[in-house]
Amino acid sequence: MNPESNTGKPDHDHGFAPPFLPHWMQERWAALTVVAAGVALMVGFLGERFFGLPASVALGFYVLSYLAGGYDVARAALPALFRGKFDIDLLMIAAAAGAALLGEWAEGAFLLFLFSLGHAGEHYAMDRARNAVGALGKLMPRTAFMKRGDRLEEVPVEQLAVDEVVVVKPGERVPVDGVITAGESSIDQSAITGESVPVNRKSGDEVFAGTVNQDNALDVRMTRLARDNTLARVMQLVAEAQEQKSPTQRFTETFARRFVPAVLVGTLIVIVLLPLVFGWTWSASFYRGMLLLVAVSPCALAIGTPAAVLAGIAQAARRGVLIKGGIHLENLGRLNTVALDKTGTLTTGHFTVTQVIGFEGVPDEEVLRVAAAVEEQSSHPLAAAIVRTARERGIAFPSATEIENLAGKGIRARVGGAEVLIGAMRAFAGDSAAGKGQPLATTVAGLEGEGQTTVIIRRAGNFIGVIALADEPRALAREVMQRLRAQGIDRLVMLTGDNRSTAHRVAEQIGITDVRAELLPGNKLTVVHALEQDGGVIAMIGDGVNDAPALAAATVGVAMGAGGTAVALETADVVLMGDDLGKLPFAIGLSRASARIIRQNLVIALGVIGLLLTASGFGVIPLSVAVVLHEGSTIVVVLNSLRLLAWHEPTIRPDA
């Protein structure tokens, strides 16, 4: 059976159903042809042997079985042959035709019946894997209640524009990606993030299309068009992932493509060689050739790997882990090194301002006002904490202008006509006032010695203050590190742009001993390259923004999804959709389970080929037994792959 999508085979829905048939027959075409082939075969075989059915009538039923069982196979194989493409379907057609020439109509019909049954099973398995993710599309509401003044109007979601406000009633699915402008409620986000527990959302929080509003009505301002929302992008990325083949899958498909012509040539050699060299009859050698043809056809080998990869990607998506292709699924299981960003990955990323210290008589409120004016334009967690604190204290601040981000250092802007630079100590390298022994350096050293993160504010060339912030590790971080070690991950490395004191404080809390601190984004990339050169098969875990270079360079880049942000979805190879670090061990475990099943499928497929090749060589099995074992192995590897859809390893959850 050919797993490729470009062989001329139809989509998995209708097969090659003739278009003039009723829709219900097209929907069930694969099943109907299998049943017809089986019934015709059974009537012909049993009628001829037990009920005195004339041979000519029995032959008519065998022909019907041939037509029903071979229709889809021939429709796929023959056009491919005319394009110079030899596939496994062609082998089965050749074997069935050879059986007919030998007068073994029953065995040929049996071969096509089982092969068509295997095709139907393959489509069923692939459908189940695809539907495991495709069912997400059914979660998308088709209409939304849009606010028009004081009334609500139900409109198709495709007609909504960005910034329009919709009302989401309790118990209904959120129809759009947007931000809550009024109301507070619990939202079931399991469809997007895999979270089993609803989360509370209030005004200013983001919500996603397809999630369920549980408690109270919400006003939601739309931030993305329907075609661009998170759910649509997840489905698109999963569909693309299913087309990206793993190295093992590419190898087996290449092997199958080259093996098929070799089998056909070998069969011809057997048919011609045995009569000429050993004096066999042409009918005997032809029968042995057909036996060889069935024995070595690599159907199970061709389908075993893609079925397992597809099922693994589907199961990961159902659990809130987006894996963007078979190669990444395979690489996850090979990891021996994991590098993790600190802020927002190992920690919550929800900083709290702990101290505001003004210099040279500058009031604390003025320091916070200037900092908030600049940081309002930044998406960094430190900036959000500063702006939030200023608002909570009722401090009004102007809008900054001429904003310039300094990668890994800070941000420069103008506030009230004065140039303001905000950042870590390294942003002020060379400034004498920031030198060792100066009040600024002493203050910063003291705060960072306590494990706090510092933000320095300089206005018009003068340092006006320091803001200290603290960020706590995620509740699951320590348990996740323990699980990763239990999975055989040899090295766990923290990479952070934060100061060494803060980095080591967090590292001690979560159980990481290898800490690389005070890194710029480019430095993280250098560390990742160094770890890879040291023999590491490395995963980089980050937030998908300032970690982008390191994510791209690692063997596997894993982004904390922030509920499916656009940057995270586009940057990494794997996305933890719910910002749930506990899903990382699950993803690695699933990858290793997929690898085990792929190996099992290869052993089954090659083992059956070897057994049949040996048995057919000595002529100890009839064609019918070879057919049963051959097609049976194909069905076994498909069913074995489907086990991944039920694979479950509990993700780590904090104690209640």
Cβ burial, residue 149 (10 Å; 0-12/13-18/19+): exposed
CA-based angle 373:456:362, to the nearest 5? 70
Q: What type of residue is 570?
A: E
CA dihedral 494, 497, 502, 507 (to 10 degrees): 0
The number of C-alpha atoms within 13 Å of 369 and in the hemisphere containing its C-beta is: 12
Q: Furthest-apart CA pair in the chain: how many Å?
A: 112
DSSP 3-state helix, strand, coil percentages of the chain (rounded to 5)? 55, 15, 30
- Angstrom distance (rounded) from CA 217 to CA 205: 14
* Set 89, 177, 341, 498: catalytic member: 341
Q: Which amino acid belongs to residue 87?
A: D
Q: Identify the bridge partners of residue 494 per DSSP, sorted by sequence position.
A: 340, 515
Report whether 632 contacts 113 (CB < 8 A).
no
Angle (CA) 445 447 449, round 5°: 65
Is-catalytic flag, 655?
no
CA distance 38 to 17: 18
- Which residue shows structure tokens 């959709």? 577
- Return the H-helix or E-strand segment holding 274: helix 247-278
- 166 alpha carbon, distance to own chain's centre: 31
Determine which helix (DSSP H) or strand (DSSP E) holds 265, and give its type and residue range. Answer: helix 247-278
Distance CA(573)–CA(575), nearest Å, equals 7
What span, in angstroms and rounded, lies between the C-alpha atoms of 194 and 189?
7
Chain CA centroid to CA 185, Å: 30
- The per-type count for the chain, helices as H runs and strands as E runs, is 21, 22
Contacts (Cβ under 8 Å, ≥6 apart) of 326: 241, 244, 245, 246, 249, 306, 309, 313
344 — alpha (psi -120 to 50), left (phi > 0) or beta?
A: left
Residues forming beta bridges with residue 463, ordered by sequence position: 458
CA–CA separation, 191 and 174 (whole Å): 11
For residues 567 and 545, is the Cβ–Cβ distance under 8 A? yes
560: tokens are: 């904390």
Can you tell me the distance from the alpha carbon of 546 to that of 481, in angstroms, rounded to the nearest whole number? 23
In three-state secondary structure terms, 42 is helix
Q: What angle do CA 561, 564, 570 make, to 5 degrees?
A: 80
Report the C-alpha gap between 270 and 596 in whole angstroms: 36
Give the active site residues: 341
